[in-house]
């Protein structure tokens, strides 16, 4: 089969931010996993503080299960992915952000069902948009680009991904590149290597966002499984692609894929995404060698180094919030923590309850957590722990929030909620 399938395979008829510089993304859009910067930070004002499954709900729209990708919002459109049926039918859904009406729901490709961890889905990777196109990745590692009418522009099938736990990394955009990392594991029947990855199965891939053709592929070397969405960081006036696997953090030149530096980051099956602040890179591994770490990237002749690590209340799933020199975390068991981002000193630890897979967001000095039970706990992003509000929709939630137009978008197992008026 041609690795770049033509658009005719689909039966129905498409800033200043580094990763979408050539697109038409607005400041209020939420174009990728964890928002414009990939850090869960929103500049929106007057977001809702109170709601329920029926109160302060602008609309609720049923979405076919199952997918744990988070929604993205561009202009007046919400996009999300799902793997319908038993998971073979890979679909992108477009919803009117104003009314909740489904604009289109299209199968963009079909995939073989392979092994995954029970909490994962066959559509967990959150799509990304440059304001003109939507780019999505599904469980086999296939990348597809569609326009805003759902027309397929290209499909890249170069990667045949396998992991014992499925795929959970989300793609990012930088200039004219779509960047995706694949930290896989041994195929069933292959040499059993546990979570250690053969050198040729862990790599970072960049494709031309206009054509889907590979521009570079950076082999990681021996590593361990990871599900970490990368990010872009400016170091010494130059961009670095910060990418981590199960036991390494690496900096790459995003234009070429040239490896700039590597630092050990012991762990296995790492999920929390890269967060950046105070010139540091924050990572966590809740499996294998649990630790929250702050790493300073290499610059000039100064090598990269781990600045501090904390081994208490390490999150396995949820990513951090960085705000004004503070790092906020949530463990899957519902324990929240605030640390000094420069030193790693723990400022407070509090139990907010629930089981947590989704990553929190920050807006107007408040942090919004979302539990798997559908309960949202809102706290002040401050040195003193204070709960602002607690709300629930009473449905299972593993996807993270999206924010746009003064509203919150919450994906549950079967519905997409728009919170706010």
Q: Along the chain (421 residues), what's the average pLDDT of each consecutive run of 10 residues?
A: 34 32 70 98 96 98 92 97 89 98 96 73 93 95 96 94 83 98 69 54 93 95 82 97 91 98 86 96 87 96 96 96 98 98 99 97 98 98 98 97 98 97 84
In the sheet that holds 346-351, the strands lie side by side as 321-323, 326-330, 335-340, 346-351
**What percentage of the chain's residues is helix, strand, coil (to nearest 5)?**
0, 45, 55
The vertex-156 CA angle with 154 and 160, nearest 5°, equals 155
Q: Please, what are the domains in the chain?
A: 18-419 (2.130.10.10)
Label residue 2 exposed, middle or buried (CB < 10 Å: 0-12, 13-18, 19+): exposed
Burial 144-156 (b: 16+ CB within 10 A, else e): bbbebebbbbbbb
Distance CA 28, CA 38 (A): 14
Return the pLDDT at 43: 95
- Radius of gyration of the chain from Cα atoms? 20
| Residue with token string 């869960």 | 40
DSSP class of residue 19 equals G
Q: Which of 251, 290, 286 is nearest to 271 (CA)?
A: 286
Q: List, as one string, the DSSP characters of 249-298.
A: EEEE-TTT--EEEEEE---SSB-SPPEEETTEEEEEE-SSS-EEEEEEPP
Return the pLDDT at 196: 57
């Amino acid at each position: 089969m041609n690795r770049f399938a033509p658009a005719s395979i689909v039966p129905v008829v498409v800033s200043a931010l580094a990763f979408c510089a050539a697109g038409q993304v607005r400041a209020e859009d939420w174009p990728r996993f964890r928002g414009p910067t990939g850090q869960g930070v929103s500049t929106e004002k007057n977001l809702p503080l109170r709601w329920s499954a029926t109160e302060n709900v602008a609309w609720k729209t049923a979405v076919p299960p199952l997918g744990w990708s988070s929604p993205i919002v561009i202009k007046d459109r919400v996009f999300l992915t799902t793997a319908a049926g038993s998971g073979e039918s890979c679909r992108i859904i477009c919803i009117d952000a104003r009314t909740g009406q489904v604009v289109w729901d299209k199968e963009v490709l079909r995939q073989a069902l392979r092994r995954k961890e029970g909490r994962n889905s066959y559509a967990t990777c959150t799509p990304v948009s440059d304001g003109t196109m939507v780019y999505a990745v599904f469980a086999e590692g296939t990348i597809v680009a569609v326009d805003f009418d759902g027309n397929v522009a290209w499909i890249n099938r170069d990667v045949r991904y396998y992991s014992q736990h499925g795929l959970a990394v989300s793609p990012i955009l930088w200039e004219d590149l779509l960047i995706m990392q694949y930290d896989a594991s041994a195929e069933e029947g292959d040499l059993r290597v546990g979570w250690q990855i053969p050198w040729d199965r862990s790599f970072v891939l960049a494709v031309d966002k206009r054509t889907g053709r590979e521009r570079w592929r950076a082999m990681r070397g021996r590593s361990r499984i990871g599900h970490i969405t990368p990010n872009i960081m400016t170091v010494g006036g130059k961009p670095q692609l910060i990418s981590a696997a199960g036991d390494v953090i690496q900096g790459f030149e995003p234009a070429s894929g040239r490896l700039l530096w590597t630092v050990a980051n012991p762990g296995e099956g790492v999920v929390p995404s890269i967060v950046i602040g105070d010139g540091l890179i924050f990572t966590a591994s809740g499996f294998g060698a649990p630790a929250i770490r702050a790493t300073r990237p290499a610059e000039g002749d100064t090598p990269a180094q781990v600045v501090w690590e904390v081994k208490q209340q390490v999150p396995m799933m949820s990513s951090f919030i960085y705000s004004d020199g503070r790092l906020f975390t949530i463990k899957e068991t519902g324990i929240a923590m605030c640390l000094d981002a420069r030193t790693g000193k723990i400022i407070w630890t509090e139990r907010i309850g629930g089981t947590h897979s989704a990553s929190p967001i920050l807006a107007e000095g408040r942090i919004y957590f979302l539990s798997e039970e559908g309960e949202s706990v809102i706290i002040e992003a401050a040195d003193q722990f204070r709960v602002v509000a607690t709300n629930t929709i009473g449905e299972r939630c593993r996807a993270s929030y999206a924010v746009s137009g003064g509203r919150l978008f919450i994906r549950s197992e079967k519905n997409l909620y728009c919170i706010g008026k």
